[in-house]
Amino acid sequence: MKKFRPGTQRTVAALLAQPSRISPMSIQSNPASFSRLSLGELRKRAAIRLASIAEGAAGRERSRQLPYEQIRQLAADRLLTFRIPMAYGGTGASVREVIEFIIDLAAADSNIAQSLRPSFSFIEGLLARGSASERERWFPRYLAGEVFGNAGWEIGGANGSVSARIVREGDHFRATGSKYYSTGSLYADWVSAVALDEDEQPVSFVLPRDREGLELVDDFDAMGQRLTASGTTRLNNVLVHPHEIRTRIGEDGKRSIVTPFLQLYLAAVEAGIARNALNDAVAFAREHARPIKHSSASRSVDDPYVEFSVGEISARAYAAEAVVLRAAETIDAAWAAGLDDDAVNRAAVEVAQAQYLAVEAALKAAELLFDVGGASTTARQHNLDRHWRNARTVANHNPRHWKAAVVGAYRLKGTQPPTSGLF
């Protein structure tokens, strides 16, 4: 890394205070250049696309075939743009409406749904704290079908700690470090990362994925969500321009409405997994299962215990979706209230409750799936264990017992949830 004479280095904040000499991104805001789609039109596109995605999901997961094509198709269909305001060429959908789509997407392929979490969260950040210039820079890229990935978290230190560094080099910066849990980055056109500046302050920035020195490694080895491409990102003295620095969420110590959205997104993935388990339970009972020898039924669909198992799975999937959508409405209410602190805190509590129940529902639904048939349900060709593995992996992002305890403290003593990024 380039050396500087004493007294010549300045922090990221100091340099950003100066006018940028870097030209803006090539795609400029011009809503007229994109034909605006209605919410109904997006939903029609979604129904067609998700049916195609669901058809090959089990096979892709079994053979570890990364869904590059499917994610590109979703982006080209503008199915990542629900929340972009009409003024910028989008549909201006509510949080509930986009969460409905995420549940549907996760029911088709939960790997793809989670891979796109950074793309949806980037939009929420622009809505909550982004400047007009940032929105004008990035929203057209979504409308043009571009995808965003994330490279924020690291391993080897305390949870949430950052060791990557970003330092000034003339009129730009250089970033160095290694990230893990880089959700969706292998599929992305842009990768968002965070590093510490000379004052030990975190700085967020977003880079084109073909930037020299940005290395994406396909080494994610979790038991579930295997196709989320959440592996290592290396920042090898990578160039960062001033206009690539992002407004950071939560710098003022207050809870951002983006955080409950991000947590609810995980709950929506769980709800989708529960529905997917239900779909597979019904299909297996109809097409593959045989009644046990001493059953009174001649067909599995007539066996009362199979009926009971499918009914319980259905109830759990229904409950997961209901609580997630209810929590989404509280985030919409917080937006309607002007992001009042009390409204945002209420949304955080509602989301924590929804997460707790959605995780429990998905895990139980995935387990009960094996009660609709005999030993044949465990055959690798059916890949039915993917639902439990995926639900368990998503659940391990945030320990659900913390969710319940925080809600309990709020109910008992009025204690507000932590502003740790997990509520």
Per-position DSSP letters for 290-329, written without gaps between them: ---TT-S-SSGGG-HHHHHHHHHHHHHHHHHHHHHHHHHH
Cα separation, 122 vs 63, whole angstroms: 30
* 409 and 279 in a common domain: yes
Going by pLDDT thresholds of 50, 70 and 90, the confidence category of residue 252 is low
For the segment 344-402, what is each residue's pLDDT rounded down to a tens digit?
Answer: 999 999 999 999 999 999 999 999 999 998 888 999 999 999 999 999 999 998 889 99
**Pick from 117, 116, 137: which is nearest to 126 by CA?**
137
**Pick from 405, 289, 276: which is nearest to 349 by CA?**
405
Q: Is residue 403 predicted with pLDDT exceeding 50? A: yes
Cα separation, 121 vs 307, whole angstroms: 39
**Pick from 183, 178, 379: which is nearest to 288 by CA?**
379
Q: Is residue 26 predicted with pLDDT exceeding 50? A: no
Q: Residue 114 domain-assigned? A: yes
Print burial letters for 163-173: b (CB count within 10 Å at least 16), e (below 16): ebbbbbeeebb
CATH code of the domain covering residue 278: 1.20.140.10
Q: Residue 297 domain-assigned? A: yes
Final residue belonging to a domain, choices 98, 115, 147? 147
pLDDT confidence of residue 60: 96
Per-position DSSP letters for 401-421, written without gaps between them: HHHHHHHHHHHHH-PPPP-SS
Per the listing, tokens 């949430």 go with 160
Specify the number of domains making up the chain: 2
Per-position DSSP letters for 109-160, written without gaps between them: -HHHHHHTHHHHHHHHHHHHH--HHHHHHHHHHHHTT--EEEE---SSSSTT
Taking residues 122-147, what's their average pLDDT?
Answer: 95
Cα separation, 256 vs 216, whole angstroms: 29
Q: Which whole-number Å values give the CA distances from 209 to 10, 147, 150, 190, 234, in the listed order?
A: 27, 10, 11, 5, 11
Contact between residue 418 and residue 314 where contact means Cβ atoms under 8 Å apart? no
Per the listing, tokens 């849990």 go with 181
CATH code of the domain covering residue 71: 1.10.540.10
* 409 and 287 in a common domain: yes
Q: Residue 226 domain-assigned? A: no
pLDDT confidence of residue 29: 46
pLDDT confidence of residue 7: 34
Lowest mean pLDDT among 125-134, 310-319, 353-362: 125-134
Q: Residue 293 domain-assigned? A: yes
* 137 and 270 in a common domain: no
Both tokens of 233, joined, read 């990102």
Contact between residue 78 and residue 145 where contact means Cβ atoms under 8 Å apart? yes
Cα separation, 261 vs 330, whole angstroms: 10
Q: Residue 247 domain-assigned? A: no
Q: At what angle do helices 386-395 and 39-63 cross, to 10 degrees?
A: 110
Of residues 20 and 286, the one with the higher pLDDT is: 286
Going by pLDDT thresholds of 50, 70 and 90, the confidence category of residue 9 is very low
Final residue belonging to a domain, choices 105, 126, 147? 147
pLDDT confidence of residue 303: 86
Final residue belonging to a domain, choices 147, 167, 187? 147
What is the percentage of the chain residues whose pLDDT exceeds 90?
77
pLDDT confidence of residue 308: 94
pLDDT confidence of residue 109: 98
For the segment 153-192, what is each residue's pLDDT rounded down to a tens digit?
Answer: 787 666 667 999 999 999 999 999 999 889 999 999 999 9
Domain range holding 123? 36-147
pLDDT confidence of residue 412: 97
* 262 and 407 in a common domain: yes
Taking residues 298-321, what's their average pLDDT?
Answer: 91
Going by pLDDT thresholds of 50, 70 and 90, the confidence category of residue 301 is confident
- What mean pLDDT, rounded, does the chain reach? 89
pLDDT confidence of residue 297: 67
Q: In what helix (H) or strand (E) does residue 208 lie, and over which residues does it extend?
A: strand 202-208
Q: Is residue 94 predicted with pLDDT exceeding 70? A: yes
Q: Residue 171 domain-assigned? A: no
Per the listing, tokens 């997994």 go with 273
Rg of the chain over all Cα atoms, to the nearest angstrom: 23
Lowest mean pLDDT among 4-8, 23-27, 61-65, 307-311: 4-8
How many CA atoms does the CB half-sphere of 388 hold within 13 Å?
A: 13
Lowest mean pLDDT among 88-102, 192-206, 241-255: 241-255
Both tokens of 115, joined, read 């891979």
Both tokens of 300, joined, read 């599995």
pLDDT confidence of residue 152: 78
Q: Is residue 103 predicted with pLDDT exceeding 80? A: yes
Q: Residue 68 domain-assigned? A: yes
Q: Is residue 206 predicted with pLDDT exceeding 90? A: yes
Going by pLDDT thresholds of 50, 70 and 90, the confidence category of residue 21 is very low
Q: Is residue 19 predicted with pLDDT exceeding 50? A: no
Cα separation, 184 vs 347, whole angstroms: 26
pLDDT confidence of residue 10: 40
* 116 and 263 in a common domain: no
Q: Residue 421 domain-assigned? A: no
* 263 and 141 in a common domain: no
For the segment 34-84, what is each residue's pLDDT rounded down to a tens digit?
Answer: 688 999 999 999 999 999 999 999 999 999 999 999 999 999 999 999 999
Both tokens of 348, joined, read 């955080």
Percentages (nearest 5) of helix, strand, coil residues in the chain = 50, 10, 35
- In sequence order, the 6+-apart residues with CB closer than 8 A to the CB of 106 are 113, 114, 268, 269, 270, 271, 272, 273, 275, 276
Burial bucket for residue 298 (CB in 10 Å: 0-12, 13-18, 19+)? exposed
